[in-house]
Amino acid sequence: MSDPTANTRRPSPPRRPWFESVRDALRGIGTMFRSQRNARIQAVLFACVIVASLTLRIPPGDWAVVLLASGMVFAAEALNTAVEELANEVSREIRPGLGRVKDLAAGAVLLASMFAAAVGVAILLPRLLSLV
């Protein structure tokens, strides 16, 4: 005989206020910047790109592309940090499968960073060269 409760759904946990979710997300972002040297380096580079973009007065469409590319890098870094934290919780031992997962997550950050750099070069370099 089958279990009559097998197809019933568990009740959803009560919804938390949105500001608690935002607070938790901001805590996660803070954790990323405190624990990841590369995230801090990316933040410095982002600040340089913002200063250059303001100085060169790039048009709104270019701003959208720069901000999207930069956001992609930070989002990839946050996901990479989460994967690393989770993998370290699963096992502190060297495990090939976990190593591949961490490498893949780090590769995603590298890809996002390379494409963001290409966006920066495509948008900012012609304007910089026109000043020479």
User: What is the average pLDDT across 11-39?
Assistant: 92
Q: What is the DSSP string of 47-93?
A: HHHHHHHHHHT--HHHHHHHHHHHHHHHHHHHHHHHHHHHHHHH-SS
Distance CA 29, CA 23 (A): 10
Q: Looking at the domain 33-130, which fold is it? A: Helix Hairpins (1.10.287)
Which residue is catalytic, options 77, 84, 85, 93? 77
Tens-place pLDDT, residues 62-92:
999 999 999 999 999 999 999 999 999 998 8
All structural domains of the chain with their residue ranges: 33-130
- Residue 20 annotated as catalytic: no
CA torsion sign for 70, 72, 75, 80 is negative
At 6, is the pLDDT very low, low, confident or very high (cuts 50, 70, 90)? low
